[in-house]
A and B are shown apart, each in its own frame.
Chain A
Amino acid sequence: MTLRTLAAVFTTVETPDRLAREAAALARRLDAHLLGITVTSDPRYYPTLDGYMATEVLAEIDRRQERKAETILEVFDAAVKAEDVRGEWRVGRAGMQTVAERILESGRGSDMLVMTRPESYVHQLDDIQEQVIRGLGRPVLMLPHGATLENVCKRAMIGWSPTREAARAAFDALMLLEPGAEMTLLNVGATSAHDLADGPMNDLAVGLTRHGVSVNVVHREPGARHIGQVILDEAREVGAGFIATGAFGHSRAYDFVIGAVTRELLTDSALPVMFSK
């Protein structure tokens, strides 16, 4: 399986340098076309704040957003030239829509999206990531601060579960892996349930092996650790270049009650994580 078009999504709150560099380098390694997408958010107009949101203020916000978009484009262009890849550029204004909706509209044509995880909490930005992962229909590769995409082609850690999302994640991960790469299917659960999971996992491993990767199946008992933590520990131990996992297998309400693995990986991972839904 091959990745032919990679889309890098830039937001105006993060510095674009690292994402541009990492995405361009990955596109070169995979011989993929690189699409850069930036969506600027327009200020919402609240009639009750009429006095505060004067025309001049709105115009200034507008100018700043445009300047940021121009800066991102310059950085993107430089990275594309440095890696000598085929790059293309899209800038969109959110307008009456949300930023997430704009990203969803423009990202569907690509095989995979890559985004950075914001360093600190930014109002509404977490929600953008969740909405994109939930609604896009393409895997989203999240690049944490200080992480690199340099090793994603060699070794993958797949957080397995008997769900549609995990099956998607395992096959989506093949897009990043080179022939002969190693893949670990990891089941985190009570020891008593390991036997039950072993059959389906081995079946899946055989199917994935036919795509030219080498797959091994691993079971771990979480003990006192959270599932997300177990996945992170295992990934570090085997030297995985990235983690792939099904995202948001449950409804929002359920996630909220249980404390979902997806959120844990979204916020705590030091490795790139690919989320599939």
Chain B
Amino acid sequence: MTTKTLAVILFTRAEAEWLAPAACELARGLDAHLIGVVPVLPFFVHDAAGFDPVVIPTIAKWQTEETDAIRALFEEAVRRADVRGEFRAQERVAAPTEEFALAATRAADVIVMAPKGDGGSSEPTDRLRAPIIRLSGRPVLIMPRDAALTAAPSRLLIGWSDTREATRAAHDALTLAAPGARIDLLAVRSGRAEVHAMDARQDFAAALDRLGYSAELIDRDGPAGEISRTLMEVATERDAELVVTGAFGHSAVYDFVIGAVTSDLLDAPKRPVLLSK
């Protein structure tokens, strides 16, 4: 499987400054088409706070300027990297922001997005990051500013578990993996969890070997609440260029109670992380 289309979400000018060139590098490395997507956030005016007819045009003007600046950054990056790029900015309030972002990214094989921590993120933009992972139906590559993925990775670590999301992630990873890549399949068990005879992880490893990858099974014991930490520790040990795992296996409420793996990985990962739902 190959990546033919990448979509990169550029929320702010500050983010676009480093993410647009990084996404272009990756698009060039993969020989993929790149779509730059700029969602525009709605703004609200509260009557009770004193309605000022000057405010709305001012915000609108600022948004247009911001979008134009992001477009300039994107187009410059596309030109420098010499990739096939396409720019999609949301026309103001034409559709809800989430709908626009989902429609524009669902056509891509992989979506590229910055983590929460990097490059002028704000609360409203951060709130949009989770729905894109949850609802797009495409794998999302979380690209940290200091550890960008620039080509197809040749060392991958897949966090394997018996869930739909992790299964999606494991298979989605092959969209990006370089031919002959080393792919580690990590299972983290807490305590005395049962090991089944019909373990699909072994079948998957065998399938990877047939495809010319070199698959390895890794098992770790770890407390259920710290799976993301174990995952990143093993990633460091194995010097993985890309960490892959399922996202939001549970409902938002459950995530909140347990301290979810996904949020940890979305906040400030040290390595590129591919999340699938």
Seen from chain A, the residues whose Cβ lies within 8 Å of a Cβ on chain B are 1-2, 4-5, 33, 35, 90, 92, 102, 104-111, 134-138, 162-168, 171, 199-200, 203-208, 210-211, 246, 277
Asked if B107 is at the interface of the complex by the 8 Å CB criterion, the answer is yes
Q: Are A4 and B103 neighbours in the complex by a CB distance under 8 Å?
A: no
Q: Mark B179-213, 1 if CB is under 8 A from A, else 0.
A: 00000000000000000111111111111001100
Asked if B151 is at the interface of the complex by the 8 Å CB criterion, the answer is no
- Of residues B1, B107, B171, B210, which shows the largest number of chain A Cβ atoms within 10 Å of its Cβ? B107
- Identity of the chain B residue whose Cβ is nearest the Cβ of A2 in the assembled complex: B1
Residues of chain B in range 156-176 having any CB-CB distance to chain A below 8 Å: 162-168, 170-171
Bound CA span A253–B136, Å: 23
Q: Are B171 and A162 neighbours in the complex by a CB distance under 8 Å?
A: no
Asked if B233 is at the interface of the complex by the 8 Å CB criterion, the answer is no
Bound CA span A207–B103, Å: 12
- Of residues A164, A199, A277, which shows the largest number of chain B Cβ atoms within 10 Å of its Cβ? A164
Bound CA span A102–B198, Å: 8
The one of A33, A104, A111, A164 in contact with B171, judged by C-beta atoms closer than 8 angstroms, is A111
Bound CA span A185–B206, Å: 34
Q: Are B203 and A210 neighbours in the complex by a CB distance under 8 Å?
A: no
A167 and B106 in contact, given A110-B207, A134-B164 (Cβ under 8 angstroms): yes
Residues of chain B in range 79-105 having any CB-CB distance to chain A below 8 Å: 99, 102-104
In the complex, chain B residues whose CB is within 8 Å of the CB of A165: 137
Q: Are A105 and B198 neighbours in the complex by a CB distance under 8 Å?
A: yes
Q: Are A167 and B198 neighbours in the complex by a CB distance under 8 Å?
A: no
Known contacts A203-B107, A210-B33, then 9 further A-B pairs from the complex at CB < 8 Å, ordered by chain A residue: A4-B210, A35-B203, A109-B204, A138-B167, A166-B137, A167-B136, A200-B106, A211-B4, A246-B137
Asked if B135 is at the interface of the complex by the 8 Å CB criterion, the answer is yes
| Nearest CB in chain A: distance from B208 CB, A | 9
- Identity of the chain B residue whose Cβ is nearest the Cβ of A207 in the assembled complex: B107
Asked if B13 is at the interface of the complex by the 8 Å CB criterion, the answer is no
Q: Are A136 and B104 neighbours in the complex by a CB distance under 8 Å?
A: no
In the complex, chain A residues whose CB is within 8 Å of the CB of B104: 203
In the complex, chain A residues whose CB is within 8 Å of the CB of B205: 109
Q: Are B198 and A106 neighbours in the complex by a CB distance under 8 Å?
A: yes
Q: Are A106 and B138 neighbours in the complex by a CB distance under 8 Å?
A: no
A4 and B207 in contact, given A102-B198, A105-B200, A111-B171 (Cβ under 8 angstroms): yes
Q: Are B198 and A135 neighbours in the complex by a CB distance under 8 Å?
A: no
- Identity of the chain A residue whose Cβ is nearest the Cβ of B102 in the assembled complex: A162
Q: Are A106 and B203 neighbours in the complex by a CB distance under 8 Å?
A: yes
Q: Are B109 and A207 neighbours in the complex by a CB distance under 8 Å?
A: yes
Bound CA span A3–B223, Å: 36
| Nearest CB in chain B: distance from A276 CB, A | 8
Q: Mark B35-73, 1 if CB is under 8 A from A, else 0.
A: 000000000000000000000000000000000000000
In the complex, chain A residues whose CB is within 8 Å of the CB of B202: 109
Bound CA span A81–B109, Å: 36
Asked if B5 is at the interface of the complex by the 8 Å CB criterion, the answer is yes
In the complex, chain A residues whose CB is within 8 Å of the CB of B200: 105-110
Q: Are A200 and B103 neighbours in the complex by a CB distance under 8 Å?
A: yes
| Nearest CB in chain A: distance from B137 CB, A | 3
| Nearest CB in chain A: distance from B122 CB, A | 25
A163 and B203 in contact, given A105-B196, A200-B103, A211-B4 (Cβ under 8 angstroms): no
In the complex, chain A residues whose CB is within 8 Å of the CB of B165: 137
Q: Are B198 and A204 neighbours in the complex by a CB distance under 8 Å?
A: no
Q: Are B171 and A138 neighbours in the complex by a CB distance under 8 Å?
A: yes
